[in-house]
Chain A
Amino acid sequence: MVRRASSTRRGGLLAVALGVLALLSAPAVAAGGGPADEEFVVVKAGKVITGSGEEIDRGEIVIVDGQIRLVGRRLEYPKTATVIHAETQTVMPGMVHCRTRAGLPSYQRSGVHGDLKTADEIYLDEMDLESFLRAGYTAVNIYPAGTGITGVSSVYRTAGPAGQRAVTPGGYLRTTMISLPRDKQTLRDALKKAKAEIDKVEKARQDWEAKRKEAEAKKAAEGAKPPEQQPPSPSPAPPTPPTPGPQPSPTPPKSGPQLPAADKPAPQETAKPAGDASGDQFKPPETDPSHRALMDLIQKKDGAPALMLEVPSASNILHALEVLQGFDQVTRTLWLGGGFAPDFNNAVAKLGELKSLVITAPAMHRLPATINRYNLVAELFGAGCEVALAPENDSPQDLEAVRARTADLVRSGLQRSDAVKALTVNAAKAAGVGKQLGSIEKGKDADLVFLDGDVLDPGARVQRVMILGKVVWKAKD
């Protein structure tokens, strides 16, 4: 199947492949001469679907130490490299399930819990993720259950070395806008409080600076001259216009991409300064940990997880946007969930205007109060949204049906390229791990899926799954 396809499409894709080759040829040589302790793995595929738009017939992927280094055709690599022959197969990026509980129990909780992480409730060893592997998912984004602001989701590989299962930074801050007016009020209050907390820190810093200046002035006045050239007063801290807001607050060391010990709850990001209260270091006041994730978002901190809104209807999107007004910097990721007769057709234009990243299930939607169906996913792409597809639920059947159902959407007007993006890069982006996962590109993790047919061929099955350059799962014959 694959071979036939590739032979017929060879001519068409040749130019593309050559282009890729030309682009990558220089690093290819460099890669070829890497240090001996690097571990090379080479995948020779019938077809490589990169996920970011290219499809390379008879493509090759060079993987070094679990990361993709080269993608193209007729690449150079050391003779010692391990070659994985998949000339009859299609290789695609491992899919990221961007919204799952992965079999964890649900529970009732409401209110603001931005400090909660799914990581706190997970014992990876006890989880059986085989059905995800079988369906081609190499990572799952597990969200915290409940309503309101339920916490930050965590992304884990579905297999692989114990220490490297967690994908960080990743996940999103999950917020529901389902039950009105409660959820709306929760988000409104949370945003208000987060903003107040930011202002509180800002004000404390200003006070501290004013005091320091005063002290310096006093010092200067006491001593006839400053003994040495003290750094000019405004320089140690960034300039401080009175507006609170986007500029990064000088809160100490960014918690950065610190890798939490695998399978362990990530240590809580702390607002406490590293230094002691020696006076020349600003000590920010204590802030409410449950609102810190929101504060980071509002302040556009690096690595702050995006806000993901779960909405069951078009009107609730308006309710959410109304509350988020004035917080434009808060990323707009939405899960358009089920409900009895979702009327998301009414929200398409608005979501397109906002260029939202929309997570939804691969299904034809019913126009409300009719029996007519329409292709919501295609409409959203058409309006300018990015769409990530995730199954409605996590039964093995639903997981495995995702590609076939996406193929249905393609038959009803969805562009193939959009469909592939929705399954791969966009899903990774939605899960907050777009930098590491979701496509076959240089620098990304070598989490790959080998199919015995095209990605949108409903009959194609996952044959092998590779995680960080190692084949971790094989289909039984």
Chain B
Amino acid sequence: MRCRMKRITVAGAAVLAMSTSAMLRAQTAETVSAYRVGKVLTMDAKDTVINNAVVIVKNGKIDSVQPAAGATLPAGVQAVEMPDCWLVPGFVDCHNHTAGSISDLNDMVYLTNPGLRTLDTVVPESDNVKMARSGGVTTALLIPGSGTNMSGFGTIVKFAGKTVDEMVVKSPGSLKIAQAGNPERYWYGVGRSFMNYNTRQTLLKAKAYNQAWDDFEAGKTKVQPHYNPVYHDFRGLFKRQFIASVHTQIYQVVMTTVDMLAIKLGLRTVLDHSEFDAWKMAPMILDVGEDNVWTICGPRVLHFDQSQRRVVGLCIRWYQQGIRKIGINTDAPVIPEEQLPFQAAMECWFGYHPYLAIKGLTRIPAEALMIEDRLGSIETGKDADFCLWTGDPIDPRSTCRMTIINGKVAYDGRSERRW
């Protein structure tokens, strides 16, 4: 009890502090900084890599990326000199449960809990947040656990900011749906047919609610529908403004996911986990289109294929089946968030290409989460969220020396080494 009170006080204090700092910031003039580095992995659509470059940041956005030779720095700006380091976009994790304390993970009230949001549980500047950014992860989708079929709306946050509002990139960022596996343990246990029925019913109700509002807004109906806080957030889902992130794995379950959510309900679906032999569903996903169904592998990285006594890596297996947009996640705290790059390294141990793996930590998850206009690559106009690495960012030997979020240093390993 005392503990909770303390937390509330701290939060209150933080809110106070925040508001003052926000006021201060509004008054300051434009902020400019520059970084001279050995290599920039821009992770842009052209897969540009620039050796010896200068990246200039203005007001939290990337202003320019230029070759170091002949780069012109704005007057009065001293470049941060890291000529041995690689500059890599901040990593984006599509699947993280460490928004708040571990007791916030799952509110397993009903088998579907359509109105809940992780936004209410986010704790800024927690140890998890600090560790995550020291590991090069700057953005994550914080989602509720998979203890129920529908456990609420996720929140896309950056791992910087002293208030929740400062952290949030997008809320709701996704609707969390879990199919098979964990929710089977709900109460006395449920099976797949009932779980799918139940999920479908909830979504159909939400869809009908959205349709009623759409019709009203389009002037097709005269009577304004009753506002329902449980279903109102679903409007963005059915308008495909955000995604359904689905706990799904094993080919039969993935088949149900793709069929029910992506095809029948037309949702933009992200297959979180995509584990075991889910890769067998690649042809179906290619049919539906990779823009409609995104494959994000993790926390498992390998699958023991009993047909041939093989240990296969998940990413390489999906790739071999023709899937090209493959992301990688941690399911933190299952894998600590700071070890997201190591998840990519493990995929490469099994034969996946390191560059594609880095792509699976940056551009692809950003696209999957529909935040690619702001994040996931180093391009002019995008958020200045990047990290300076001592080398290949997914090599366990490399260290993230510095993490910049919104153009500001969020972690400096030179003075405060964490990971």
Contacts and interface: CB of A to CB of B under 8 A. Distances in A.
A368 B304 CA distance: 13
13 contacts: A367-B309, A368-B309, A369-B304, A369-B306, A369-B309, A370-B306, A370-B307, A370-B308, A370-B309, A371-B306, A371-B307, A372-B307, A372-B308
A371 B277 CA distance: 15
A367 B309 CA distance: 9
Interface of B: 304, 306-309
Interface size class of A (residues with CB under 8 A): under 10
Contacts of B304: 369
A334 to B, nearest CB: 25
Interface string A359-381: 00000000111111000000000
A169 B309 CA distance: 47
- Tell me whether chain A's interface is mostly helix, strand or loop, or mixed: loop
The 3 A-B pairs at the shortest CB distance, nearest first, are namely A370-B309, A369-B309, A371-B306
A370 B307 CA distance: 5
Contacts of A370: 306-309
Nearest to A370: B309
A368 B309 CA distance: 8
Contacts of B307: 370-372
A291 to B, nearest CB: 43
A369 B311 CA distance: 11
B354 to A, nearest CB: 29
Nearest to A367: B309
Contacts of B309: 367-370
Contacts of A372: 307-308
B250 to A, nearest CB: 16
B277 to A, nearest CB: 12
A475 to B, nearest CB: 44
Interface string A330-372: 0000000000000000000000000000000000000111111
B216 to A, nearest CB: 56
Nearest to A368: B309
Interface in A178-199: none
Contacts of A371: 306-307
A374 to B, nearest CB: 12
Given A367-B309, A372-B307, A372-B308, 10 more contacts: A368-B309, A369-B304, A369-B306, A369-B309, A370-B306, A370-B307, A370-B308, A370-B309, A371-B306, A371-B307
A117 B304 CA distance: 47
Nearest to B304: A369
B394 to A, nearest CB: 30
A372 B304 CA distance: 14
A223 to B, nearest CB: 83
Contacts of A367: 309
A344 to B, nearest CB: 16
A370 B304 CA distance: 9
Nearest to A369: B309
